[in-house]
């Protein structure tokens, strides 16, 4: 039971950081007057990687919330069939792995776009965006930090999921199920 509660705590932390990431990126905008009456507004729609980050962080938060609902509605330990329990544990382990890698990849892609916005790219004649829209860039930076923290928590979830899965197998032989104890 203590193992389940530690996984619940880590999932809740991951959900909090994923929601913070998605909400900070989605709500971030800043408007500047460039020339007299010409206004330019910076939003997350300007960079495709930020839009993808919002979608993926939202989907990962929803996935972790659904996993929490499954734990509280129908705990896996109460299932009668060991085969069903093993298949569900494999399925959850693979989904946890996919969620970690996709979230980390989306964060890294958004970080690359943010670095180009911060430093500019002289070869392509892209100017530094963060010189004009500093508040926007600071908020995106905080959101990316929260996204990486969420990725760390999701990696912990994946480790706990792997432990939960591989405790079904015997330590003496490779991927052989433990024999039932009377």
Per-residue pLDDT at 179? 59
| Segment among 32-46, 57-71, 100-114 with least mean pLDDT | 32-46
Cβ neighbours around 103 below 10 Å, total: 27
Number of domains in the chain: 1
> What would the pLDDT profile of 60-109 be if each residue is shown by its tens digit?
999 999 999 887 776 555 555 666 777 888 898 999 999 999 999 999 99
> What would the pLDDT profile of 120-149 be if each residue is shown by its tens digit?
666 655 556 677 777 888 888 899 999 999
Token pair 């946890």 in the structure block, residue? 96
Q: What percent of the chain has pLDDT over 90?
A: 39
Per-residue pLDDT at 169? 74
Average pLDDT over residues 46-64: 92
In a domain, 8, yes or no: yes
pLDDT exceeds cutoff 70 at 168: yes
Q: Could you tell me the pTM of the whole model?
A: 0.82
Per-residue pLDDT at 128? 67
Per-residue pLDDT at 73? 77
In a domain, 62, yes or no: yes
The packing angle between helices 82-119 and 48-73, to 10°, is 160
In a domain, 107, yes or no: yes
Per-residue pLDDT at 180? 56
In a domain, 175, yes or no: no
Token pair 């994923």 in the structure block, residue? 18
In a domain, 146, yes or no: yes
In a domain, 24, yes or no: yes
- Higher model confidence: residue 134 or residue 27? 27
Beta strands in the chain (DSSP E): 29-35, 38-43
Per-residue pLDDT at 10? 94
What range defines the domain where residue 162 resides? 2-29+47-71+83-166
Per-residue pLDDT at 81? 65
In a domain, 174, yes or no: no
Query: For 147-169, b where at least 16 C-beta lie within 10 A, e where not — what string?
Result: bbbbbbbbbbbbebbeebbeeee
In a domain, 137, yes or no: yes
């Amino acid at each position: 039971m203590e193992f389940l509660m530690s996984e619940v705590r880590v999932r809740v932390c991951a959900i909090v950081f994923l929601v913070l990431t998605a909400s900070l990126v989605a709500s971030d905008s800043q408007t500047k007057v460039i020339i007299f009456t010409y206004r330019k507004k910076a939003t997350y729609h300007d960079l495709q990687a930020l839009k993808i980050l919002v979608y993926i962080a939202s989907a990962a938060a929803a996935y972790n919330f659904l996993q929490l609902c499954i734990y509280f509605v129908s705990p896996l330990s109460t299932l009668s069939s060991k085969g069903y329990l093993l298949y569900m544990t494999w399925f959850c382990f693979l989904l946890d792995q996919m969620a970690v890698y996709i979230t980390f990849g989306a964060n890294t892609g958004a970080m690359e776009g943010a670095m180009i916005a911060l430093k500019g790219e002289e070869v392509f004649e892209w100017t530094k965006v963060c010189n004009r829209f500093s508040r926007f860039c600071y908020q995106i930076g905080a959101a990316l930090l929260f996204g990486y923290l969420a990725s760390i928590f999701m990696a912990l979830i994946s480790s706990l999921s792997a432990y939960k899965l591989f405790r079904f197998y015997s330590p003496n032989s490779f991927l052989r199920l433990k024999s039932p104890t009377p």
